[in-house]
Amino acid sequence: EMRVRATRVLPSDAAGIAEAARLLRAGALVALPTETVYGLGCDATDPLAVASLYAAKGRPSFNPLIAHVPDIAAARRVGILTPAAETLAARFWPGPLTLVVPALEGATSELARAGLASVAIRIPAHPVAQAVLAASGRPIAAPSANRSGHVSPTTADHVRADLDGRIDLILDAGPCAVGVESTIMDCTGSTPVLLRPGGLPREAIEAALGFPLADTAPSLETAGSQTAPLAPGMLASHYAPSVPVRLDVHHVQPGETLLTFAGARPPGSEAAALVRDLSPSGDLVEAASRLFALLRELDAGGAGGIAVVPLPRHGLGEAIADRLRRAAAPRPD
């Protein structure tokens, strides 16, 4: 059961980092910044800490967690880096990339892996995450620091809004630069597979591998179905604001707010309750970094729904489209 905790917020200075590492080693729940989104961290080797993390998030426990480590040497203690994983790790770690590889038995708790024989590993680039991981000396399991089913947090305030009273510490390092979660690549087989588009664009991975990746759109669309999804946590409605979201909108309906891009103003915009532009200059990197904060703002705007204009699909546009598709998906209840 979830226990009530006094949630402290500390700045990410040397004292804050030391306290975060001390708490993590003691089995506590600590929200920490990464360059993608804020993660809710705990010691991945401690099944009690992992269980309390699932409870704090209200997350279904079949959903495996990413093990965060400070460097390649630590990654090799958690999983077996296959040839494809070696190539991608050398090119993109530290960074917004998660690699799924065969797990080293006993290196992380089975609960953190949800019983799978594989493990998802990431080396984040954020200097605060790096410092906490190095100081804790443990692989840190860290899902996004939101209640299950809510939008991922890109500021310490987002974390507090979702998890105040449920976790021990929030380390505040300001807004996250990338703003969408890491790209997840399954490297367990001979052909690497893109499981989740994210902060590292597909094009960069294809250039490093020297061949194109299979189209993942069909599997992402079935990710919430009964059949085993590729990334088991990717429930179709994972990124869900409380009001309906309409995509690829060419006419804004009365009572809707508008999420737009590059200054676009489709008919009906004049009457929109609120208009927010992901990137007035049409920059997809800026758009990704602002996506979750603007979704939260429009959701809180008290309107009947959120209308979203069509967006480009290249580069980070693939991850943005994926998150928006989930935000617009029918709700389970």
87 binds, among ligand TXA, Mg ion, none (CB under 5 to 8 A by kind): none
Which residue reads 């310490």 in tokens?
156
Q: Which does 119 bind (CB under 5 to 8 A by kind): Mg ion, ligand TXA, none?
A: ligand TXA
Nearest CB to ligand TXA, comparing residues 7 and 148: 148
CA 208, 78, 230, 232 torsion-angle sign: negative
Residue 21 or 184 with smaller CB distance to ligand TXA? 184
Helix (H) or strand (E) holding 305: strand 305-308
Instruction: Name the minimum Å distance from CB 195 to ligand TXA.
Output: 6
Check if the beta carbon of residue 188 is closer than 8 Å to that of residue 118. yes
Question: CB of 262 within 8 A of CB of 94?
Answer: no
Q: Which does 52 bind (CB under 5 to 8 A by kind): Mg ion, ligand TXA, none?
A: none
Rounded-to-integer distance, Cα 224 and Cα 160, Å: 28
Q: Which of residues 34-73 bind ligand TXA (CB under 6 A)?
A: 34, 36-37, 39, 63-66
Report yes or no: 80 and 104 within 8 Å, Cβ to Cβ: yes
241 belongs to the binding site for ligand TXA (CB under 6 A): no
Q: Kindly tell me which of 102 and 282 has the beta carbon lying closer to ligand TXA.
A: 102
Q: Which stretch of DSSP H or E encloses residue 287?
A: helix 284-300
Q: Which of 184, 249, 319, 324 binds ligand TXA (CB under 6 A)?
A: 184
Q: Which does 34 bind (CB under 5 to 8 A by kind): Mg ion, ligand TXA, none?
A: ligand TXA
- Is 144 marked as binding a ligand? yes
Of 163-182, which residues contact ligand TXA (CB under 6 A)?
A: 181-182
Find out whether the peptide bond into 94 is cis, omega within 30 degrees of 0. yes
Residues that bind Mg ion (CB under 5 A): 144
DSSP string, 92-148: H-SSSEEEEEEBPTTSS-TTTTTT-SEEEEE----HHHHHHHHHH-S-EE--BSS-T
182 annotated as ligand-binding: yes
Amino acid at the residue 296: R
Asked if residue 147 belongs to a known ligand binding site, the reply is: no
Binding flag, residue 234, ligand TXA (CB under 6 A): yes
Question: Of 68 and 256, which has the nearer Cβ to ligand TXA?
Answer: 68
**Residue 10's CB: how many other CB atoms inside 10 A?**
17
CB of 68 to ligand TXA, least distance (A): 6
How many residues touch ligand TXA under the rule CB under 6 A: the total is 26
- d(CA 249, CA 217) in angstroms, rounded, equals 20
Among 55, 72, 107, 116, binds ligand TXA (CB under 6 A): 116
8 A C-beta contact, residue 261 and residue 316: no
- Contact between 196 and 234 under an 8 Å Cβ cutoff? The reply is yes
Q: Please indicate if the annotation marks 59 as binding a ligand.
A: yes
296 contacts 267 by C-beta, under 8 angstroms: no
| Torsion sign (Cα): 234, 154, 203, 83 | negative
Instruction: Pick one of 231, 240, 243, 272: the residue that binds ligand TXA (CB under 6 A).
Output: 231
Please tell me whether 122 is known to bind a ligand.
Answer: yes
Q: CA 44 from chain center: how many Å?
A: 17
Least gap, CB of 45 to ligand TXA (angstroms): 16
Q: How far apart are CB 180 and Mg ion at their closest, in Å?
A: 11
Contact footprint for ligand TXA (CB under 6 A): 34, 36-37, 39, 63-66, 98, 100, 116, 118-120, 122, 142-144, 181-182, 184, 195, 231-234
Name the binding residues for L-threonine: 36, 68, 122, 142, 182
Q: Which residues are annotated as a binding site?
A: 36, 59, 63, 68, 122, 142, 144, 152, 182, 196, 239
